[in-house]
């Protein structure tokens, strides 16, 4: 189905950095620009050009340029609109409150899409009623502190749509948040169609990629790969990325005497050419809201061995068909799954072909089609008025559950605030 052309604005934290939210926003914006008028508004900016390549059809503008305005008097005062319990709160200020508010008030657009909780709150409170207001969740509801969930409950009722990246998180929003009239739907991240031929499964290389931070558990992956290297010394693990864990990981490689088997490759953008050099993808996270690198690897023809952590991997990988899912924090299980694929050439190549086919659902085409349908339905719902009686009955049935979660979060947030006040008074 072909939908009417729309003007769409994305509001993002900092489009000039590196990260999964920036990547997926650039991907979706570029794909939507095939038929729509699209812009990305970056709340902050710290460099001349973005790290990532943006489709030239997508306009990009920034609201606060930290190269020139880091010392602005208003930027030294804490933000009042951006919620204090949000992870990025310290990077926001009265200046960002002012600039974001002015930007939203002046928007000449049909749809505005926020890309993190604090910005979704801005949209809910400050975007004009005439604009369709969409809040994207790139983490998970359960990962947010109770104080933030309480703030989101108050603000999110003014949104039209909330999208999550997994069905599990969408279910959590519906069950726990009690947002009558707000449509909640899972919209996965998309990965562009590869420009290079897929991997053929012959290279003796396992590849992992992402930020080198504790939650990604590269230490577990290295420990597991020690077993692989012992049985198949001609295989190699390449880890792409940068971050705080790099010195510790290098020390672990030294201690396990894996100098020739495990390589810290640094960051690579884009990663497609690197995935294509491998035969197996690997992920060992304790927690993964989606799993962008898993999809990237599969789209390049690699089966992926991953921990079955909340929430994303289990909705991306079909265990035994296009990859393997293993228990979280289990180095032996991770090693065993890797050894299954390393030691069986035919199985590895067959699963790689299946991965390539199954990952097509994350191509821009299907994801954009879903996004267009979602936005068009939201616009129609606005014009037709209240939801159906069935939907109203469902909201009534879920209200008590949602309110109980709200009460627990509010009590926890209040107790946390009181404890902070006591500690502050003792200083």
Q: Is residue 426 part of a domain?
A: no
Structural contact between residues 137 and 166, judged by C-beta atoms closer than 8 angstroms: no
Give per-residue pLDDT as tens, 273-296: 999 999 999 999 999 999 999 999
Q: Is residue 103 part of a domain?
A: yes
How high is the pLDDT of residue 277?
97
In terms of Cα–Cα distance, which of 97, 72, 73 is closest to 84?
Answer: 97
Q: Is residue 198 part of a domain?
A: no
Q: What is the pTM of this model?
A: 0.86
Give per-residue pLDDT as tens, 138-195: 999 999 999 999 999 999 999 999 999 999 999 999 999 989 999 999 999 999 999 9
The residue from 318, 333, 362 where one domain ends is: 362
The residue from 362, 384, 407 where one domain ends is: 362
Q: Are residues 377 and 330 located together in one domain of the fold?
A: no
How high is the pLDDT of residue 1?
73
How high is the pLDDT of residue 410?
59
The torsion angles phi and psi of 79, rounded to 5 degrees, stand at: -65, 150
Average pLDDT over residues 28-39: 96
CATH of the domain at 105: 3.40.50.2000
Q: Are residues 283 and 376 located together in one domain of the fold?
A: no
The mean of the pLDDT values for the chain is: 92
Q: Are residues 178 and 299 located together in one domain of the fold?
A: no
Structural contact between residues 88 and 118, judged by C-beta atoms closer than 8 angstroms: yes
Structural contact between residues 341 and 348, judged by C-beta atoms closer than 8 angstroms: yes
- Higher-pLDDT residue of 403 and 118 is 118
Q: Are residues 210 and 306 located together in one domain of the fold?
A: yes
The DSSP 8-state label assigned to residue 52 in this structure reads S
Percentage of the chain surpassing pLDDT 90? 85
How many domains is the chain built from? 2
Structural contact between residues 163 and 190, judged by C-beta atoms closer than 8 angstroms: no
Q: What share of the chain is helix, strand, coil (3-state, %, to 5)?
A: 45, 15, 35
Q: Are residues 216 and 357 located together in one domain of the fold?
A: yes
Give the domain range for residue 345.
205-362
């Amino acid at each position: 189905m072909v939908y009417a052309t729309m003007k769409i604005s994305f509001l993002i934290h900092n489009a000039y950095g590196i990260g999964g939210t920036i990547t997926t926003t650039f991907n979706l914006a570029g794909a939507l620009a095939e038929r729509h008028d699209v812009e990305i508004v970056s709340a902050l900016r710290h460099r001349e050009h973005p790290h990532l390549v943006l489709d030239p059809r997508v306009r990009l503008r920034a609201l606060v340029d930290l190269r020139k305005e880091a010392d602005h008097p208003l930027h030294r005062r804490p933000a009042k609109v951006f919620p204090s319990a949000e992870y990025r709160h310290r990077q926001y200020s009265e200046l960002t409150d002012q600039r974001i508010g002015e930007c939203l008030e002046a928007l000449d657009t049909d749809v505005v899409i926020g890309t993190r909780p604090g910005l979704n709150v801005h949209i809910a409170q400050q975007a004009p009623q005439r604009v369709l207001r969409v809040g994207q969740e790139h983490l998970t509801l359960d990962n947010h502190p109770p104080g933030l969930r309480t703030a989101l409950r108050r603000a999110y009722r003014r949104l039209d749509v909330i999208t999550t990246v997994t069905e599990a998180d969408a279910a959590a929003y519906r069950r726990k948040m009690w947002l009558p009239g707000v449509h909640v739907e899972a919209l996965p991240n998309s990965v562009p169609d590869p420009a290079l031929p897929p991997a053929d499964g012959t290279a003796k290389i396992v590849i992992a990629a992402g930020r080198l931070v504790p939650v990604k558990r590269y230490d577990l992956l290295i420990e597991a790969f020690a077993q692989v290297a012992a049985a198949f010394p001609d295989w190699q693990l390449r880890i792409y990325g940068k971050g705080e864990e790099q010195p510790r990981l290098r020390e672990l490689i030294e201690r396990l005497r894996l100098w020739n088997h495990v390589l810290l490759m640094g960051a690579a953008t884009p990663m497609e050419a690197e995935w294509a050099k491998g035969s197996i993808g690997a992920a060992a996270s304790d927690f993964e809201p989606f799993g962008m690198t898993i999809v990237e690897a599969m789209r390049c023809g690699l089966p992926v061995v991953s921990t079955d952590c909340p929430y994303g991997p289990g909705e991306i990988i079909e265990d035994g068909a296009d990859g393997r899912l293993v228990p979280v924090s289990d180095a032996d299980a991770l090693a065993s799954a890797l050894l299954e694929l390393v030691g069986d050439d035919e199985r590895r190549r067959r699963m790689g072909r299946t991965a390539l086919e199954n990952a097509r659902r994350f191509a821009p085409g299907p994801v954009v089609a879903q996004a267009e349908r979602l936005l068009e339905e939201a616009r129609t719902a606005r014009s037709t008025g209240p939801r159906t009686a069935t939907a109203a009955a469902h909201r009534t049935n879920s209200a008590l559950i949602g309110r109980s979660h709200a009460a627990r979060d509010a009590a926890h947030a209040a107790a946390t605030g009181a404890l902070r006040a006591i500690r502050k008074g003792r200083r």
